[in-house]
């Protein structure tokens, strides 16, 4: 079974190298057949340089570069489109998601399920973020009949079929479980560890609260919304063209 890991990054210069190394060490224990895809979402710092400095020595590393900041949904879509694995893992690039939970995610992806989502039972975030996230998850359960506790934990594993043609419009990454269950994919949730950011600060501010609220209603009738591709890949490193 080939595994692809996708990591969207925006201004994570202090984090990409330690995140890559930790993830590689864990994936190596699970399989020899894996790739790690970083999608640089228009970083303005040295994130891309840091990744390119690893590229010559690291054959498992692949990089997708956006020249402009298209957002996390576009970055994930680009990763899904280009991943070659039978199973696709996603995680954030700031070190908050703990890759030590990946073996558990893999074992939880039994025949009964198409994707397994992490549930950050003890979140390592500020009070405002934790509280707003609890409210969103509650509303998502009521409005979108979401079955899970944590709709925005990126530490997940998907069968390739679930995400191979998933084009996420802006902001849609917060509703992937809703979108996929509405398409008939079967979901499971397991508890995962959540850590503080390694370095740097979150790309999202207060505005996210309002944008996220708007999207709650948008995805209620998601299946009727025509999806369109929203990103342009500027450059790919380490891909066979």
Binding site for ligand UDP (CB under 6 A): 8-10, 12, 41, 69, 71-72, 75, 92-94, 96, 202-204
Site for Mg ion in 84-103 (CB under 5 A): 94, 96
Nearer to ligand UDP, 184 or 205 (CB): 205
Residue 41 binds which of Mg ion, ligand UDP, none (CB < 5-8 A, kind-dependent): ligand UDP
Residue 217 binds which of Mg ion, ligand UDP, none (CB < 5-8 A, kind-dependent): none
Measured in degrees and rounded to the nearest 5, phi and psi for residue 191 equal: -70, 140
Residue 97 binds which of Mg ion, ligand UDP, none (CB < 5-8 A, kind-dependent): none
Q: Minimum Å distance from CB 98 to ligand UDP?
A: 13
Nearer to Mg ion, 94 or 114 (CB): 94
Nearer to ligand UDP, 82 or 202 (CB): 202
Q: Minimum Å distance from CB 184 to ligand UDP?
A: 28
Nearer to Mg ion, 62 or 120 (CB): 120
Q: Give the residue among 72, 79, 78 at the shortest CA–CA distance from 175.
A: 72
Q: Where on the chain is the footprint of Mg ion (CB under 5 A)?
A: 94, 96
């Amino acid at each position: 079974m080939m595994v692809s890991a996708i990591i969207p990054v925006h201004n994570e210069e202090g984090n990409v190298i330690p995140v890559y190394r930790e993830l590689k060490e864990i994936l190596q224990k699970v399989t020899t057949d894996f790739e790690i895809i970083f999608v640089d979402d228009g970083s303005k710092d040295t994130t891309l340089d840091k990744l390119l400095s690893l590229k010559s020595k690291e054959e498992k590393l692949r990089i997708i570069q956006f020249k402009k900041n298209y957002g996390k949904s576009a970055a994930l879509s680009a990763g899904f489109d280009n991943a070659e694995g039978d199973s696709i893992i996603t995680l954030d690039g700031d070190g908050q998601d703990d890759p030590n939970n990946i073996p558990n995610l893999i074992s939880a992806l039994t025949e009964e399920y198409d994707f397994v989502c992490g549930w950050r039972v003890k979140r390592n975030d500020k009070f405002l973020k934790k509280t707003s996230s609890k409210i969103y998850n509650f509303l998502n359960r009521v409005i979108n009949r979401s079955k899970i506790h944590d709709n925005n934990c990126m530490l997940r594993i998907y069968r390739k079929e679930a995400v191979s043609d998933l084009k996420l419009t802006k902001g849609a990454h917060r509703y992937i479980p809703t979108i996929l269950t509405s398409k008939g994919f079967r979901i499971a949730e397991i508890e995962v560890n959540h850590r503080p950011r390694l370095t740097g600060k979150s790309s999202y501010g207060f505005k996210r609260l309002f944008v996220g609220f708007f999207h709650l209603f948008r995805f209620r009738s998601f299946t009727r919304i025509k999806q369109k591709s929203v990103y342009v890949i500027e450059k790919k490193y380490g891909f066979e063209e």
